[in-house]
Amino acid sequence: MSGATAPILITGASQRVGLHCALRLLDAGQPLIVSYRSEREGVRLLRERGAITLAADFASEAGILGFIASLKAHTDCLRAIVHNASDWETETPGNEAQVFQRMVSVHMLAPYLINLHCEPLLRRSTPADIIHIGDDVVRTGSAKRPAYCASKAGLDSLTLSFAARFAPAIKVNGIAPALILFNPGDDAAYRAKRLAESALGIEPGAEVIYQSLRYLLDNPYVTGTTLAVNGGRHLV
């Protein structure tokens, strides 16, 4: 099947960068399926634009497998899978194991199982892609969120493994962002501190992730690669 007629799946597309990329793909005429954990205005907007929206909770194996079953009830082919769903928790005394397990489930187990179970759907599309959205923090580690960082590092490893496993029919790549969008409540001092951490020193906005996504979808000769979209943080 032509990739132009098969839908792209984006997980966690109800807000911020995921929502922006979903809307840009819809602007380009791309059929879309998105997962969401909570009902938000972005989910309603995506439905109005024609996307299929599927509720999902990736914190457990049962939730992941339930989502896969729901997905297969809506389509028998996929042009691409974009693993954008993410969670952001800090360990506190007494809940370290729960946070670690949740981070691994959302950032590693969900992509792992979805990739395995949806391989036949991807193989019905030419071309076909998997894109893992990771985090630039894995270069340095994180003292405040080691569970988050470790699970995102594991996702980078899955990029390499699935790229080797699924070649040449399915390209598998990653994107490692850093400081794409501030939150509305971030004060001036925090913003200045964060901007100083990169060589380019700007808040680029979500479009740079869509541009990276578009590059990976369109380039036929890139697999097993993770694009650093970090404003030159490694230079500072």
Q: Catalytic residues, which ones?
A: 148
Alpha helices (runs of H) in 105-145, residue ranges in sequence order: 110-123
How far from chain centre, in Å, is Cα 35?
Answer: 11
Contact present, 25 and 4 (Cβ < 8 Å) = no
Contact present, 172 and 129 (Cβ < 8 Å) = yes
- The Cα–Cα gap between 191 and 174 comes to 26
Strands 80-83 and 129-133: parallel
Distances (CA, A) of 102 to 50, 58, 138, 203: 31, 8, 18, 29
DSSP 8-state secondary structure symbol assigned to residue 93: T
- The Cα–Cα gap between 145 and 153 comes to 12
Query: Is the four-CA dihedral 35, 39, 42, 44 of positive or negative sign?
Result: positive
